[in-house]
Chains A and B, each alone.
Chain A
Amino acid sequence: MSDIQSVSTMVEGDMSDRYLTFFLGETIYGLELFRVVDILTIPPITPVPGIPSYIKGVTNLRGKIVPVIDVRTKFNQMEIEYTDKTCIIVVVIHDMQVGLIVDSVSDVVTVEPNEFTNPPEFGGNESNKYLSTIAHTGGRIILNIDCEKFFANDLDMFSIGGI
């Protein structure tokens, strides 16, 4: 378990401008910090049939059963072998916990309001449609993920298949 665990409880006050950054290859992505509840090294994952390939299965998070999504697969990037740097970031969406597999976790950054730009509307790759903003801060470019968009496909509850 990582030492960054429970960042959310360490940081007090308004967290809306704070992001947890992580790597996929060379690219830095950001997640809204208030959604993050935990960061762990890869636990054993039990595959579940009948779900999209980017959901790797379910894992046991302190007695809770949590689905795990491989962000690489979701972004249509090549899957790589999990290493000891590979992490699961557990986020909360609509009161549900979901684990996100990422290459490695970087750090928490505070983004000033003037450092945001909007993502390009057209073109770009699979990952761009899940972005909320792009932040230029500290000489780095961070692609901030919009969790609502990211999970939209799975949260679409009204298309439950046949009976």
Chain B
Amino acid sequence: MSTIDPNMELMAGFIEENTLLLDTLDEIMIESEKSKNISEKNISEIFRIMHTIKGNSGMMGFETLANMAHSVEDVFFIFREDPSKLNIVQDSIFDLLFQASDFIKNEMDALQGGDAEHQDPQPIIDQLHKQVARMNGESGAGAKEPAPAAGTPNAPAAPAPAPSAPDSLAHSVNGYYHVQVFFEEESRMENLRAYMLLSQLKDWCENLESVPQSPESDSSLTAQIVKNGFYIRFKTASTSEDIMEVIRNTVEVKTASLISEQEYVAAGGTPLPKQVEAPPAEESHVPQADTAPSTPTPAPSAASSAPSSAAPKGVKQNLISVNQIKLDHLMDLMGEIVTAESIVASNPDLKGLTLDNFNKSMRELRKLTDELQDVVMSIRMVPLSGTFQKMNRIIRDMCKKLDKNVNLETFGGETEVDKTINDSLADPFMHMIRNSVDHAIESPEERRALGKPEAGKVTLSAQNIGGDIVITVSDDGCGLDPVKLMNKARNQGLLTKPESEYTEKEIYNFIMQAGFSTNTQVTEYSGRGVGMDVVRKNIEKVGGTISIDSKLHVGTTFTIKIPLTLAIIDGMEISVGNIIFTLPINSIERSIKITSNDQLIHNTDGTEMIMLYGQCYPLIRLHELYGIETSVTNIFDGIVILIEYGEKECCIFADELLGEQQVVVKPFPVFLNKYDIKGYGLSGCTILGDGNISLIMDANSLLHLNER
């Protein structure tokens, strides 16, 4: 079947919503599996999720997905009726549900890649059916829902499926038409197909009504639709032929025929308004309504145009999902505005003029753009908890496979980061956690022998420190063995200096080099030596750094530092020769004009220090560091800036401070990735008001530079 909607936006929305739902599902399942029980609230939540997925998939024409969701729904339908039944199938149900969720997830991924459905859902569906049967077998009662045409009482006043009989009647009553539709046999989920049909007709018709009302809201109506057909009434400006054409061309519609109003009313529809001002007292009119099984009948919606608002949505009403491309564009525009504003404010035409009013307006504008910028940034911020949550699932699966016992603890999941950063963190986390569980954490027996608690622990924590987000991933496993790492590095010829000169940290860093794997055994999860270098690259891509700390037999901690936002910073422009650098304001402590020769201290190794307020700071002369020609080489002529990062401080020497400006941070071109520009104390570039490029300095790496 191929009804893949050409409308990509609809598709994207479908994938997005289902992915969200599946994430929630995973979360609930993990929690439930831990407590070995599914609370009633969660049962209905899962039921709702599956129902929505089924509805969405049905609407998009993905039968496999809809069937899968339907089978899961069947299982939860029973739980919902009688939670105690959970005990009967407890042993296998969780695995099965995870499989089902993975199945749908994989399909989603495939769709995202533009593929059509390709997996075979039958094994899982069969399993699910088996569970349903097991529960029913034990109790004899329960699921009435699964099979579409199962055990519904006979419907009294319905015409037999002989669709073309009343063709000769006058069909149009005041422009109203009545149509009876039958769907293909075995097309499944006729209620959703009916809903799709209604949605399709919405564009063509007014005053759309149907029997049954809101078919999508209750899957038990399926049987009724199969048996009696689906009745529609509408008013249209188009000709009846056109509309019939639309209906007949709808997917899985077998026959559609015009009927008289009387037949429509007989089938349970409300008579036309002019005859009776029909209150929506459906129950009395609808003989078929009581054929519905125990699920509640749909809320009688007043004779409105279309039953589109019936899908359960909960609190989601207040959220809208926006294509990220639009947000990126918004962000770019924001950057342009900030730049444009700077161009206006520091326009050379204004030099030397007294412009009180202009300056006042400029300040006002600045305030507004600042605020706008904050809002734009905050839109892009997402909490890390979602990514953290996903790790739960990975740990669970690995524990099952590897027969280990590992708990995940997370702290600071509410910490928010830019969406781009959040997305680029999922992969590194996964690699690190896999490494931890696979290599670091010992088997329960080993752990017992070592006197550690049997269950290993992996901790994920995030917090805001200064302008950075600091995330740690730590485990209480075996730790890294510097001796082993050194041997391995030697064998692979990775050493670049005498062995004795390597610090412990440098040795740990070997594991982040390409092709370096300490595990001799390649497993499904790790050991191929790709992984940690990918982790490092991914993190560096978003401007972050990663460091390792480890203690043999105690555990390993990875610390990741990432700038809070990549986008816009307050910068101080400083000139060296004819080059302009930008230094983030928040790393500047103060700037000083040196007046006395006593303040300058020459070390024997050629480096210099500055004495300020009774303290000694190392001095970096930027023109020497970057090899720039400048006329300002005398310490008295230029300016000394005291920069700080964390606990560390140092002084840099530049020609002149040019002024403060907000700048949009852009990364260095990818082409230059090979070169160690960051090692020169630079973190990125920005485009200045005049279109020139300024390099952005990074206090942290400048300070490191000084240490070397």
Q: Which A residues form the contact surface with B (CB < 8 A)?
A: 43-44, 46-52, 55, 58-60, 63, 65-67, 93, 96-98, 151, 154-163
Contact = CB atoms under 8 A, between A and B. Distances in A.
A154 B685 contact: no
A63 B340 CA distance: 12
A60 B671 contact: no
B687 interface: yes
B674 A58 contact: no
Interface in B326-342: 336
B358 interface: no
**How many of chain B's residues touch chain A, expressed as a range?**
20 to 34
Contacts of B672: 48, 51, 55, 58, 67, 154
A49 B671 contact: no
B320 interface: no
A48 B579 CA distance: 10
Contacts of A98: 669, 671
Interface in B662-690: 666, 668-677, 679-680, 682, 685, 687
Given A58-B693, A63-B687, A160 B674 contact: yes
Contacts of A162: 496, 676
B692 A46 contact: yes
Contacts of B674: 154-157, 159-160
Contact of B675 (A46, A51, A63): A51
Contacts of B680: 49-50
Contacts of A158: 514
Given A50-B679, A58-B685, A65 B693 contact: yes
Interface of B: 336, 496, 509, 512, 514, 536, 579, 625-628, 666, 668-677, 679-680, 682, 685, 687, 691-695
**Chain A CB within 10 A, most for which of B627, B682, B695:** B695
B673 A46 contact: no
Contact of A161 (B336, B627, B679): B679
A12 B677 CA distance: 40
B676 A50 contact: yes
20 contacts: A46-B685, A46-B692, A46-B693, A49-B626, A49-B677, A49-B682, A50-B680, A55-B672, A58-B685, A58-B693, A60-B691, A63-B687, A65-B687, A96-B671, A97-B669, A98-B669, A151-B671, A155-B671, A157-B674, A159-B674
A60 B626 contact: no
A160 B677 CA distance: 11
Given A44-B691, A65-B685, A65-B693, 8 more contacts: A46-B695, A49-B627, A55-B672, A60-B687, A93-B671, A98-B671, A155-B674, A157-B673
A162 B489 CA distance: 14
A97 B671 CA distance: 8
Contacts of B626: 47, 49
A50 B167 CA distance: 84
A67 B215 CA distance: 60
Contact of B512 (A52, A97, A154, A163): A163
Contact of B677 (A48, A60, A155, A159): A48
Given A60-B692, A162-B496, A50 B669 contact: no
Contacts of A151: 671
A58 B666 CA distance: 12
A161 B677 contact: no
**Chain B CB within 10 A, most for which of A65, A154, A158:** A65
Which 8 pairs from chain A and chain B are nearest by CB? Answer: A46-B693, A49-B680, A51-B675, A50-B680, A161-B676, A163-B509, A96-B671, A49-B626
**Chain A CB within 10 A, most for which of B628, B669, B670, B673:** B669
Given A46-B579, A65-B685, A51 B509 contact: no
Contacts of B679: 50, 161
A157 B675 CA distance: 9
A96 B673 CA distance: 12
Contacts of A161: 675-676, 679
Contacts of A44: 691-693
A92 B672 CA distance: 14
Nearest to B625: A49
B669 A67 contact: yes
A24 B33 CA distance: 71
A55 B672 CA distance: 9
B49 to A, nearest CB: 39
Nearest to B537: A160
Contacts of B668: 48, 58, 65
A65 B695 contact: no
Contacts of A163: 509, 512, 536
B692 A65 contact: no
A118 B628 CA distance: 43
A155 B669 CA distance: 12
Contacts of A160: 673-674, 676
Contacts of A96: 669-671
Contacts of B336: 63
B301 to A, nearest CB: 52
A53 to B, nearest CB: 11
Nearest to B512: A163
Contacts of A49: 625-627, 677, 680, 682
A98 B669 CA distance: 9
B594 to A, nearest CB: 25
B559 to A, nearest CB: 13
A67 B670 CA distance: 9
A44 B536 CA distance: 34
A92 B588 CA distance: 39
B510 to A, nearest CB: 9
A107 to B, nearest CB: 27
A157 B671 CA distance: 9
Contacts of B695: 46, 48
